[in-house]
Amino acid sequence: MSGEQSPEPDCSEVLGHLYEFLDREMPDVDSAKFREHIDECSPCLEKYGLEQAVKKLVKRCCGHDEVPADLRAKVMGRIELLRSADPVPERPAE
Ligand SMILES: [Zn+2]
């Protein structure tokens, strides 16, 4: 592992471009990498699923594709909340 650039997107990259991915606004190559990451990374998968659900909902209700910023912020806040409220992890008996 030297200074070579990694072809794998990391979580922040994936989440930062989630809407481009959902809207298919990125090249197929990138999109394939994103999908691969999302498939293997449960936090990203969770967020991806939520974003997708929000987009569908908005499309059905408002008849357009764009998620209003405030709704998006609300969902994001909700996700953060859920995440910080994680159940106490089980301790290994030792
Ligand atoms: Zn991830």
Residues 63-89 pLDDT 10s: 766 777 887 788 777 767 767 766 555
Does the residue 30 lie in any domain?
Answer: yes
Does the residue 52 lie in any domain?
Answer: yes
For the chain, state the CA radius of gyration: 16
Q: In the prediction, which pLDDT does 91 show?
A: 66
The number of beta carbons lying within 10 Å of the beta carbon of residue 36 is 12
Does the residue 2 lie in any domain?
Answer: no
Does the residue 94 lie in any domain?
Answer: no
Task: Count up the domains in the chain and report the number.
Answer: 1
Q: What is the chain's pLDDT, residue by residue, as a tens digit (94 residues)?
A: 455 555 688 999 999 999 899 888 999 999 999 999 999 999 999 999 988 888 887 777 777 667 778 877 887 777 677 677 665 556 666 6
Does the residue 93 lie in any domain?
Answer: no
Q: How far is the CA of 59 from the centre of ligand 1 (A)?
A: 26
DSSP state of 89: P
Q: What range does the domain containing 39 cover?
A: 11-84
Q: How far is the CA of 18 from the centre of ligand 1 (A)?
A: 11
Does the residue 68 lie in any domain?
Answer: yes
